[in-house]
Structure 1
């Protein structure tokens, strides 16, 4: 479902999903030198073990699984947080002195895949014997089966939630494309909001969604529900916890209009998130017919801080220096807001849009509304 969704995006914005910068990336700092030959052998074995690392997503949507690894360890002078990855060879590993960089094309990976790939690479370098892995083919087959088994129940739920949902009319303004990052909350403010979230027996995703709905409310038209597109991680079976491959389901969030009080908003937003996640596998195409202009629906994603504490390559210790998702290449479409908590505790946001409705001044107003809602609630 993730790959289909990404390819549909690429059809509208050529190069967005199949391009070389649509990647998941990390750079590790090593406390000693790695044996390059040993690392190259471990990297080769890693690709042999996992079909998804030998998979080419072709232009006609076929999955071509190559019989042998097609990527080799690269010895370079320096590494960076982003590097282009050919979709035909979806993994790159680069070593420069005491830094090791891994880059995976996002068509065959997600954040969990990034960290699991490093974990297994370190184990193979160390010489550990690993059991045969689950393959991504198994996951996609199981997902298709679940879609078939739950289609009626999911259709009934979505019909009850979406039939009266009006994607609020976008602001009638135009401007330049925008793509920028900005801090939303300080570490101290994040800690206070986290405490408030626990007090309401909720999650950060629910809290930040309620705040976003509040921030957008003055700038959109009337409607009982705000609709967003989002991504749900679906590693909801033990067999998928350590699977390499994108276990992501694109779907919608049907969020009730907020009242202005977190205590009142949390139950309704939480119920909406739970329901949207439970029935996320319902094909988006079936929802399109009931949502006005679904392609312009704003995108929202909350990414919790999930960097591992470190890895061990034999006697060499490795720490995460940085991690990054796809590089912004100026192919933004509808408004997209991604927020995450950095290692220093600061909540930061990435905002992008093509400027045909949500312009940068309006987005700054939304950002101010998010802060106003959260900081008013916590009383600072």
Structure 2
């Protein structure tokens, strides 16, 4: 079977930067804290059954195709200690490691998204409990192959209208050029942007404006970036949209995300940015590699805080101790901006890039402008 839109785009990124998406650090990771000891044999059996139930956990990406292995490719690993990040080979895209009262799940990002991470842990806990009690567990509602086929059909059905819309929003809208290229050092760092009190005030204003955090943050980011980009009408960002927009996709394992763009009006007000975001999401199922996206458009992503309260492995409760996306291996090129609220209700940003247009000092000035706009 052919790769999905997300997988195709990730392979394209890897072609540009070998090892970025095919490498073993391109992973989704979670560590659970257990309040008791798990039965190793029951956990191993549950993990084996989990892989048998979901084709995507036995899927290898080879030459732009999804190849499904007939048998599970991974076994439970009993180790002395677990870390948040772990290498996961693309040929065996899932790892489960147990060290005392800590359980770590690692999924290759080519076959998983954040929802997959949480849903996998939830089903693992259910299967473990069933191993102990003998209870039956209903089969999955769908496989990732079903999602991929449906996605391909939607792309073809919407191709004409999507092409026209992106032509209007990008090619005809005079995108703003990025800052000129210059020699500079690559960078990657995290920074707190808003305290919990400041974030609460921004959230309240967002509700009053009948908007969303994504729209509010995009409008503020545009205000922070505008002084440093060239003349034009539109700021263009690469991004990802979650597309679990049918009941059967809500719990399917696999990356139900679409690489797309956010094309927002320069200095646009909240209403204009909101209208642009709604349209971008509506027409997101379009092969982004075919769109006339300006080169080196920054990547932007808002990641809501959605840690679950925990999981019950029979009588053992597991709480989330740590979560992480792909490990920074220094292979990113364009400016990447990821904003997320933390568990203590502050707003944190992760910024990375090769520094040749958006330098670290310039990004710091953008952040200052973003804060000023949010708190004004």
- Same fold at TM > 0.5: yes
Aligned counterpart for 2:147 among listed residues 136, 139, 147: 139
Deviations 1:280-306 (A, max 9, x none): 012213322xx442xx00000000001
Q: Does 1:96 align with 2:114?
A: no
- Secondary structure in 1 matching 2:12: helix
Q: Which residue of 2 aligns with 1:320?
A: 320
Q: Which residue of 2 aligns with 1:243?
A: 252
What RMSD in Å do the two structures reach over aligned CA positions?
1.0
Structure 2 CA distance for aligned equivalents of residues 321 and 271 of structure 1: 37
Q: Which residue of 2 aligns with 1:70?
A: 73
Q: Which residue of 1 aligns with 2:137?
A: 130
TM-score under structure 2 normalisation? 0.96
Structure 2 CA distance for aligned equivalents of residues 280 and 10 of structure 1: 21
Aligned counterpart for 2:48 among listed residues 21, 24, 44: 44
Aligned counterpart for 2:14 among listed residues 5, 10, 14: 10
Contact 1:25 1:114 in 2 (8 A): yes
- Secondary structure in 2 matching 1:40: helix
Matches within 5 A, 1:1-380: 1-58=5-62, 60-127=63-130, 128-133=135-140, 134-172=142-180, 173-258=182-267, 265-288=269-292, 291-293=293-295, 296-376=296-376
Structure 2 CA distance for aligned equivalents of residues 249 and 108 of structure 1: 13
Contact 1:174 1:359 in 2 (8 A): no
Deviation, structure 1 residue 63: 1.5
Higher deviation after alignment, 62-71 or 298-307: 62-71
- Secondary structure in 1 matching 2:351: strand
Contact 1:40 1:72 in 2 (8 A): yes
Structure 2 CA distance for aligned equivalents of residues 129 and 346 of structure 1: 42
Contact 1:166 1:292 in 2 (8 A): no
Structure 2 CA distance for aligned equivalents of residues 64 and 152 of structure 1: 31
Structure 1 stretches of 4+ moved >4 Å: none
Aligned length: 366
Deviations 1:34-55 (A, max 9, x none): 0011100000000000000000
Contact 2:341 2:347 in 1 (8 A): yes
Structure 2 CA distance for aligned equivalents of residues 336 and 216 of structure 1: 13
TM-score under structure 1 normalisation? 0.95
- Secondary structure in 2 matching 1:319: strand
1:171/1:160 CA distance change after superposition, 3 Å: closer
Structure 2 CA distance for aligned equivalents of residues 174 and 372 of structure 1: 29
Note the residue ranges of structure 2 that are not aligned, 5 or more in a row.
Answer: none
Structure 1 CA distance for aligned equivalents of residues 173 and 98 of structure 2: 51
